[in-house]
Structure formats: C-alpha cells, structure tokens
A = this chain, B = another copy of it.
C-alpha cells in the first residue's frame, strides 16, 4: 500500500488528531469511548478517525455493536523513513550545488 505522502502529513498536522492517536496509544477504543476522554464531540472524533483511516494511520475493528480503532505504528515508521529519504536527497543535492558554486 503506497499511500501518497502529502495527505498523511496533512492528517498529522492537527493537534486534536494527535491527542486521538495518543489516547489510542493506551489501547484500542471506540469513537464514543474517546469522546469521554477528549474535550470534543463523538461526531468530531468520528470525522478525525475517518481522516486517519483514509491515510492508513488507524484501522477499525468491529467488536459487537461498537467499532474500536487501532493505531498502525508501522505506517508512522514508513512515513518517517520516506521523509528521511527525502531529507537525505535534499542534503545530497544541496551539497552538489554548493560544490558547483564553489567552482569545483
């Protein structure tokens, strides 16, 4: 699953979403359960979970009549590695430009 990188960053660029991820770090939870712990409505949380699910950061698990969500840590790591690769590429390129600029 090669998720496009930019939407993942957009998803990670929201504080509320991070607090949801943090809360899910304590263990899987449903939107209703999360609403008890966070200062936002259940529906707001549901939307955020949809966003997180779209970019593959979270996965839904049906348990009876409720839907628990689980963080997919590997997606975090994957995103990190791809970003790191880009950063390295940039350093490489900038170094090359620097050499040219210095007349080497």
Contacts and interface: CB of A to CB of B under 8 A. Distances in A.
A50 interface: no
A91 interface: yes
B90 A73 contact: yes
A47 B76 CA distance: 29
Interface stretch (A4-12, A37-45, A61-69): A4-12
Copies in the complex: 2
Is chain A's binding surface mostly helix, strand, loop or mixed?
helix
A80 B84 contact: yes
Interface size class of A (residues with CB under 8 A): 20 to 34
Interface of A: 6-7, 9-15, 18, 25, 27, 70-71, 73-81, 83-84, 86-88, 90-91, 93-94, 97
